[in-house]
Amino acid sequence: MNHAELRAEPGAAAAKASGLEGVVVADTRLSHVDGERGELVIAGSRVEDLALSEALSFEPVAARLLSLGRAEPCRDWRAELGGARVAAFARLPRLSTSLSLPDAMDALIAATAQGCAGSDPITLLGALPVFVAAGARLRAGLPTLAPSAERSHAEDFLTLLGLPAHPARARALDAYWITVSDHGLNASTFTARVVASTGADVMPCVVAAIGALKGPLHGGAPGPVLDMLDATSGADPRAWLEREIAAGRRIMGMGHRIYRVRDPRAFVFERAISRLEQEERERGGSSAISARLAHARHVEQAAEALLSERHPERPLRANVEFYTALLLEALGIPRALFSATFAIGRAAGWLAHIEEQRRVGKLIRPAARYVGPLESLP
């Protein structure tokens, strides 16, 4: 028997798409990404309008996403979410082994698996910032801090980390979480939908999604972006970037599967960072943000120029992670927590997609083409 004689799994001959690029696998009401024009619509609104609105926080955007996923009218569950944070705090004593794992994403995966079995979406969404902050405090040898149902999600997370949480800072974190709340069928959202399509309950869908987000090609890039900004500080970035490429490494925070122009989320974060800096100054605080921002723009331009020389056929521009790194750094969030902080915001999209997939009610199960050995066993 040879490979030509094998009957492929149904559909396998149709496409050997690399990384499923361009393959549409779901209809969604949750977000739309236009990679050619650099536009992103979340829950029916342009990302810039949502994230830079003075009036909006993460909660109503998450509520709108979830209600769209459920095809139900939107309701305000801010108080329930606050209650979910408080309830998650009460569960911390039995999660300390999971939360103390050295890597923040491993700790979040383990604590969510252990602490959210059987949870509904809002209970789980409320638990994530509590677990991320508690893990960070435990790993640093510090006591955990108690959440308050009265605070907003963003204000509470900053407080739980022991960081200042005045409104300008909470607004910057809201802008971040709103911006990353959903983004089409990215790898972690697809993962969540695959698990949901098997009929699994909410927790394993989210645990699987956090796992997908951990990788540096998805949500793990912002920490390395800051490492790059540190490494190129005070020097010409071109030489450093060339060394990275020559060593076979990718430039973190650059390139995207969908966008062929600059990621619109990078613009939102630049605006949010500038606004935060201005507000910090008005409060009388000193800030190194603008120098960091200027350096980041310089590195971005150098990386874009170098990558366009190497890949003239494929525009590789700054992606969401590039300026995520700066925004989260400006908030004083440790870089080891960047991916986990991303997960808290993206969980709104995951949960909405899980609900949407449930309503589809069809197992996601693509096909494979067998290219393995064809030998008779002795």
- Shortest Cβ 215–ligand COA spacing (Å): 9
321 or 356: whose CB is closer to ligand COA?
321
> Could you say which of 175, 207, 209, 254 contacts ligand COA (CB under 6 A)?
254
Q: What is the DSSP string of 220-241?
A: S-HHHHHHHHHHHTTS-HHHHH
Q: How far apart are CA 200 and CA 198, in angstroms?
A: 6
Cβ 157 vs Cβ 118: under 8 Å: no
- 256 forms part of the interface with ligand COA (CB under 6 A): yes
| Cβ(349)–Cβ(30) below 8 Å | yes
Report the nearest approach of ligand COA to the CB of residue 220 (Å). 8
Would you call 138 helix, strand, or coil by DSSP? Answer: helix
Q: Which is nearer to ligand COA, 161 or 303 (CB)?
A: 303
Site for ligand COA in 148-167 (CB under 6 A): none
Please tell me which residue in 153, 183, 218, 256 is annotated as part of the active site.
256
CB of 334 to ligand COA, least distance (A): 19
Catalytic one of 277, 300, 321, 329: 321
In the complex with ligand COA, the residue whose CB is nearer, 148 or 308, is 308
Residues sharing a CB contact under 8 Å with residue 125, sequence separation 6 or more, in sequence order: 62, 81, 84, 347, 348, 351
Q: Give the containing element (helix H, strand E) for 160.
A: helix 153-160
256 is a catalytic site residue: yes
Asked whether the beta carbons of 199 and 221 are under 8 A apart, the reply is: no
Which of 29, 94, 260, 314 touches ligand COA by CB under 6 A? Answer: 314
255 binds ligand COA (CB under 6 A): yes
Going by C-alpha positions, the residue among 198, 177, 182, 70 that lies closest to residue 132 is: 177
Candidate segments 8-16, 228-236, 255-263, 266-274, binder of ligand COA by CB under 6 A: 255-263
Residue choice 38, 121, 129, 253 for contact with ligand COA (CB under 6 A): 253
**Which lies closer to ligand COA via its Cβ, residue 217 or residue 305?**
217
Expressed in angstroms, the distance from the first to the final Cα of the chain is: 16
- For ligand COA, the closer of residues 17 and 90 by Cβ is 17
Choose, by CB under 6 A, the member of 59, 155, 280, 321 that binds ligand COA: 321
251 contributes a contact to ligand COA by CB under 6 A: yes
In the bound state with ligand COA, the residue whose beta carbon lies nearer, of 252 and 327, is 252
Residue 303's closest CA among 268, 257, 311?
311
Q: Which residues pair with 254 in a beta bridge?
A: 318
358 binds ligand COA (CB under 6 A): no
CB of 57 to ligand COA, least distance (A): 24
Q: Does 250 interact with ligand COA (rule: CB under 6 A)?
A: yes
Q: From edge to edge, which strands make up the β-sheet containing 45-46?
A: 31-34, 39-42, 45-46
Name residue, tokens 């060394």.
243
Considering only 23-31, 52-60, 229-237, 246-254, which stretch makes contact with ligand COA by CB under 6 A?
A: 246-254
Residue 19 touching ligand COA (CB under 6 A) = yes
Binding-site member from 257, 262, 295, 298 for ligand COA (CB under 6 A): 257
Based on the residue annotation, tell me whether 153 is a catalytic residue of this protein: no
Of the candidates 161, 190, 219, the one whose C-alpha atom is nearest the C-alpha of residue 340 is 219
Residue 98 beta carbon to ligand COA: minimum distance, rounded to whole angstroms: 27
CB 268 within 8 A of CB 52: yes
For residue 302 the two structure tokens come to 């150098």
**Other beta carbons within 10 Å of 149:** 16
Q: Which residues contact 71 (CB under 8 A, 6 or more apart)?
A: 29, 359
Please report where in the chains the tokens 């989320």 appear, as a residue. Answer: 265
Check if the beta carbon of residue 229 is closer than 8 Å to that of residue 325.
Answer: yes
Contact track, ligand COA, 209-238, x by CB under 6 A:
--------x---x-----------------
The count of chain residues that interact with ligand COA, using the rule CB under 6 A, is: 18
Residues with catalytic annotation?
Answer: 256, 321
Which residues of the chain form contacts with ligand COA (CB under 6 A)? 19, 217, 221, 250-257, 307, 311, 314, 316, 319-321
